[in-house]
Amino acid sequence: MKRRAHRRTPVADACLSVAVLAAAGTLTMSAAEAHITKIQITETASPTFGGYSWPGVGQYEKLVGTAYGALDPTNPQNAVITDIGLAPRNAQGLVEYSFSFYILRPIDLTKGAHKVMYEPPNRGFKTWNAFARVPGGNDPGGTITDPTTLANAFLMPRGYTMVWSGWDQSAGTNPANYNSIINLPVATNPDGSAITGPAYEYIVMSPPSSTSSYTLTYPPATLDKSQAVLTHRVHLDDQPQVVPADQWNYDATGSAISLTSGAFVNNDIYEFSYTAKNPTVNGIGFAAVRDFNEFLRYAQADDAGNPNPLAGDVQRIFTEVFSQPGRLLNDFTHLGFNQGENGKKIFDGMMQWVAVGDGINMNYRWSQPVRTERNRQDHLYVEGVFPFANGRTSDPITGKTDSRYTSCQQTDTCPLATEIYSANEYWVKAASLLHTTPDGKSDLPDSPYTRNYFISSHQHGVGNAASKGVCQQLQNPLDSAPIQRALWIALDAWASGNAMPPPSHVPKFSDGTLVPPDQASTGFPSIPGVTYTGLKTTRYLFDYGPTYYQNGIPTINPPMITPPYEDNPSNGPIYPSFVPKTDSDGNDIAGVHLPDVSVPLATYTGWALRSGVWANDGCEEAGQYIPFAKTAEDRQASGDPRPSVAERYPTFNSYQDALTVSLTSLVKQRLMLCEDVPAQMTRLVRAGLAAGVPVPATDLLTSGPPVASIPACSTTP
């Protein structure tokens, strides 16, 4: 077994930050309640979607604008925000911020569902397109005119309102794409002077980027290059080499660093540690999400009398996310932000896609919310922090007992949640900690508030099966969107009290499907041309070093470490984590099987390795697509142990019958909607024919059987 802990370099030791508490002292409730003080709608398109009208719902309109908020830093609900006590205050003693928002709503709200899909954007971008069956692009309410596409959409025919709003200041800021961003205050020392401290940049340029310049997240406190260090390495486990000071420079404003000759080498690892100034109060993003949704759900108007565009309509709010914002919501729930300052619940349900047991690097001084830690990516931006699970567990390292839901249980404001995630999260995110004890010894029961759905053999997102990118194998094309749509309906029914959701599907110790990552334990086959190392990301307890106090307020200002360095690979104690066991094809045994996995034409994995000079380092979010040989002769010639396509499916009917069984099972389990069956069958039949399944006797079969031939569809609404 090869298990690799992340390398903590001496450069990184110099720039670790610490979660900084708000001002010390007794916290009391202020009469000035935090809220959205003003909304300003700057653009309206009514109708949108090219004027398309959905039966029973009608046309939609788009509202774009800016919202302004204010927070009482002495309110205990806000005091958990790092450095909010050091943010500037207005005349009322409140901390101000603003953000952009984007709303798609039925023009006639009385015909809508009175429910909101809220998506906190991923790095400013909307990611709902595949889930919602709408065309790509960051302006889903733009000039889309294809009635065929719109008729097959998912949320609009059901009358949902869709909302996005900014929470991450480091997100993209292209107004033409309607990116959603937030404007945050800068924390200062009590005397008004600039806060300084160690900051850190982990730099990996990816093709097609090729640049000699890198923009810093925080401005440097000094342009003295002796107070900063840049290092370079090729592999994660290489010893970092210091880049001499005469080979890099700050730009004229100090906002970026650049190499004096040539560009940063794509895919190599650079680390830059320096003394920074002016930390933004990033944790305000949590309150911005809370307060905007509280406003939309419960308020009639802002302080100036501008009407709430959803006033009196919202009965429930559900979130839909992809990756980064799901980690935001994990911490959002844990820190108690699902309770509004009016004491009421904000979100009824959360559909989490590929977020699993991690939080986000946000409620820390010098934090960078855009970062996410994987095999060789963005190390030392803490996100995997106890508690990992939604149920109550005890930390074997610190002795703490907690769950993500402790705060909301105390206030009766817990959201229900469907945790949906891929195999990639087991390999690069330690997903098993979501459903095992932190000591890695036992399975956990379900939380009463959540269900866990592992999508077998999936990568993080949908890969391009025609491209390897920087990986050794083709990318994994599995697409969870049909499963997500079914689980969205199940979550809505659960929150409405109409039906419990489908049971969890996860690998377990108890049935032998959750195992260590070595090949003997996983059972992954030896496939010609495929390298297996057992490389797996770990989660460990971060050591943020000493805390220093200024005027009673904790901060961190250790002196910068300068060369020469002594190697220090320790990251602290590791939380044991595990991966899914595979069948003899290399596909995961446990979890929700897409038809591609239950009636396979290939091996699909959630992990991948890099190629080229970076060979066998992790390939981050990518998985692998390793097709079966078409015939027994092809298989035998290559030495492939996996049966060929022709050996598995000797006739077209045998392949189509197996697909029908798979789709029927998913519909019966409420893991796929009947309306998705025809498109899935058509796609799968075409894939089978391309892979070598015998050609059917009639072309009519290429479209698959009608939905009526799937037994579950005749009985499932």
Long-range contacts of 212-215 (CB under 8 A, 24+ apart): 212/258, 212/259, 212/261, 212/262, 212/263, 212/264, 213/251, 213/256, 213/257, 213/258, 214/256, 214/257, 214/258, 214/264, 214/270, 214/272, 215/255, 215/256
Closest CA to 54 of 101, 113, 102: 113
Lowest mean pLDDT among 148-152, 220-224, 313-317: 148-152
Work out the number of other CB atoms within 10 angstroms of the CB of residue 185: 18
Over residues 392-416, the mean pLDDT reads 96
Burial 666-686 (b: 16+ CB within 10 A, else e): bbbbbbbbbbbbbebbeebbe
**What is the structure's pLDDT at 177?**
85
pLDDT band at residue 571 using 50, 70 and 90 as cut-offs: low
For the chain, the average pLDDT equals 89
Residue 295 has pLDDT above 60, yes or no: yes
Token duo for residue 73: 């830093």
Candidate from 39-43, 317-321, 379-383, 689-693 with smallest mean pLDDT: 379-383
Share of the chain above pLDDT 90, in %: 79
The stretch 205-226 carries a mean pLDDT of 88
Give Cα 200 distance to the centre of its chain. 22
Give the pLDDT confidence score for residue 34 in this predicted structure: 62
pTM: 0.92
Give the C-alpha separation, 34 to 26, whole Å: 19
More confident residue, 293 or 8: 293
**Of 312-321, 547-556, 569-578, highest mean pLDDT:** 312-321
Among 165-179, 226-240, 410-424, 645-659, whose mean pLDDT is lowest? Answer: 165-179
On whether the CB atoms of residues 357 and 434 are closer than 8 A, the answer is: yes
What's the confidence (pLDDT) of residue 468? 97
| β-strands 58-71, 256-259 pairing | unpaired
What pLDDT was estimated at residue 148? 84
d(CA 202, CA 462): 25
- Contact status, residue 158 vs residue 148, Cβ threshold 8 Å: no
- Does the pLDDT at position 4 exceed 70? no
Give tens-digit pLDDT for 233-261.
Answer: 999 999 999 999 999 999 998 999 999 98
Strand partners, 116: 161, 317
Q: Where are the domains of the chain?
A: 34-188+280-313, 196-279+557-574, 315-556+579-637, 649-717
**Given a cut of 60, is residue 267 above it in pLDDT?**
yes
**672/594 Cα distance (integer angstroms):** 10
Question: What spatial distance separates the first Cα and last Cα of the chain, rounded to whole Å?
Answer: 47
pLDDT of residue 14: 33
Q: What value does the mean pLDDT take over residues 461-489?
A: 97
DSSP 8-state symbol, 567 = -
Q: What pLDDT, in 10s, does the model give residues 118-150?
A: 999 999 999 999 899 998 888 988 877 788 888
Give the rounded distance of the alpha carbon of 402 from its chain centre.
22
Residue 10 has pLDDT above 50, yes or no: no
The per-residue pLDDT for 700 is: 52
Confidence of residue 653 (pLDDT cuts 50, 70, 90): very high
